[in-house]
Chains A and B, each alone.
Chain A
Amino acid sequence: NAGVTQTPKFRVLKTGQSMTLLCAQDMNHEYMYWYRQDPGMGLRLIHYSVGEGTTAKGEVPDGYNVSRLKKQNFLLGLESAAPSQTSVYFCASSSLAGATYEQYFGPGTRLTVT
């Protein structure tokens, strides 16, 4: 049981390049989330999904797109990377069962945009 995994762990992009971050969970969780973590700002929600085929905007969605074609996967895309998107990105998932909404986090992806 791997929990939540993220690919890649590190990436350096040039301004204007695109990339996709992959999040996978093997806990059969309904809900999945993408956050970014910046110093002194805690975690900010980018996009989230409450089920396969559904996505919604979070607190800071601009410049990002997401897709959830399969229940276990949640993809975060950057179409045209900007230096302001330099950050550590975390994926998380949670279960509808029990309705406690405890989130389980992946190890993170460190992205640098030059």
Chain B
Amino acid sequence: AQSVAQPEDQVNVAEGNPLTVKCTYSVSGNPYLFWYVQYPNRGLQFLLKYITGDNLVKGSYGFEAEFNKSQTSFHLKKPSALVSDSALYFCAVRPGSSNTGKLIFGQGTTLQVKP
């Protein structure tokens, strides 16, 4: 079965420290990978995506993510966390075989950045 896993329900980081939010996937074909952020009582906002090319992709608000094909991972990173980064983060994947645009979402990871 095709799936996305975010192994941590919550990640706690001190402001100014680097952060990593983990994501692994299991899909057929070459995946398209996405990260979204959700602030309280808001819809999901797109952060970044990997389609092809350089394994390190940069996105909004200073976030980046590294695609690792051998480990089937797409971890979200930021060199220096801000309190305002505190939110719910979703990893999503479009299976390579899909032509409907459907995405499979992970269960989400709450990022808590403390001052």
Contacts and interface: CB of A to CB of B under 8 A. Distances in A.
Interface of A: 4, 31, 33, 35, 40-45, 48, 50, 56, 58, 90, 92, 94, 96, 100-108
Given A40-B9, A42-B90, A42-B108, A103 B45 contact: no
Contact of A45 (B34, B102, B107): B102
Contacts of A104: 46
Given A41-B107, A100-B32, A101-B94, A107 B42 contact: yes
Nearest to A41: B107
Nearest to A90: B43
14 contacts: A4-B43, A33-B101, A48-B101, A50-B100, A90-B43, A96-B101, A101-B94, A102-B49, A103-B34, A103-B46, A103-B103, A106-B43, A107-B43, A108-B42
A35 B106 CA distance: 13
Given A40-B9, A101-B32, A101-B94, A50 B101 contact: yes
Interface string B24-38: 000000001010100
B90 A31 contact: no
A113 to B, nearest CB: 19
Contacts of A56: 100
Contacts of B46: 102-104
Nearest to B42: A107
Contacts of B106: 42
